[in-house]
Amino acid sequence: MQRVETCEELRRLLDAYRVLSRTIGLVPTMGALHAGHVSLIKRAMEENEVVVVTDFVNPTQFNNPNDFKTYPRDLFSDAKLVESIGATLFFTPSEQEMYPTPDTRTFSFGNLDKVLEGAHRPGHFNGVAQIVSKLFELVQPTRAYFGEKDFQQLLIIQELVRQLRMVDIKIVPCPIVREADGLAMSSRNQLLSSECRRDAPVIYEAIGSLTREDLLYEPYALIKKNAIAKIESRGSLKVEYLEIVSAFTLNPIYSYVPNGTRVLTAVQAGAVRLIDNVGY
């Protein structure tokens, strides 16, 4: 593994691989790497000859300055982990390197960035689009890997590629990786208090235990009410939203669409905000 800190050096190294017609996999991260990230990196290594892992806490996607300030960072441990896996390049730019001047670009994704996370975190997805488009232009990957835990983000990045006509980039969705008790792996989990960490697995229990019969015959308002009640029965948790939507448009649905139904939720666990989703 080679660690790279500047865009110029990364371009130079990747150009040398491109001359040799090497396939390039990109795994964008915000660091504080865990087993979920490891699964993305390993898949990228299986499917590409060159793998670039990026580690950058992007300021433009945080609508809460305190969230940006407290977001976990451990670049030393991240570097050791990426090296142990065997990725080719580890890109760790500074904020000045990625944003030498303010990025004033605005993106529109129709309904996709207006609902769910978009409604609760204004500007978040515009910041995501800014940094992801920069990385795509810089790396020009063959494939880019994103986890389904951020399901709404995944749909928006697919739309971003379409809008920017980056037809040579394949977006590869990767399954959510969970702890043994079901909690979706997240860099934010390490910030949970002991009480919240104990209670947090109920989120997956509530949204992941539905059956086909539930979705076919139960009123969706009742399903949502019961799931919210189950989560909030743990005193440390407060549901911000819980919705049953189309897996393609994120619009609410009221009847089951096989392999096209998604339950998404955001939950405040003490001072930490957790998201999760399950597809049906």
The residues assigned a catalytic role are 37
Amino acid at 59: P
What is the C-alpha separation between 164 and 130, in angstroms, rounded?
Answer: 12
How far from 15 is each of 21, 47, 48, 139, 145, CA to CA, in Å?
A: 10, 19, 16, 9, 21
CA distance 14 to 190: 34
The torsion angles phi and psi of 242, rounded to 5 degrees, stand at -150, 115
What is the spatial distance between Cα 247 and Cα 123, in angstroms, rounded to a whole number? 22
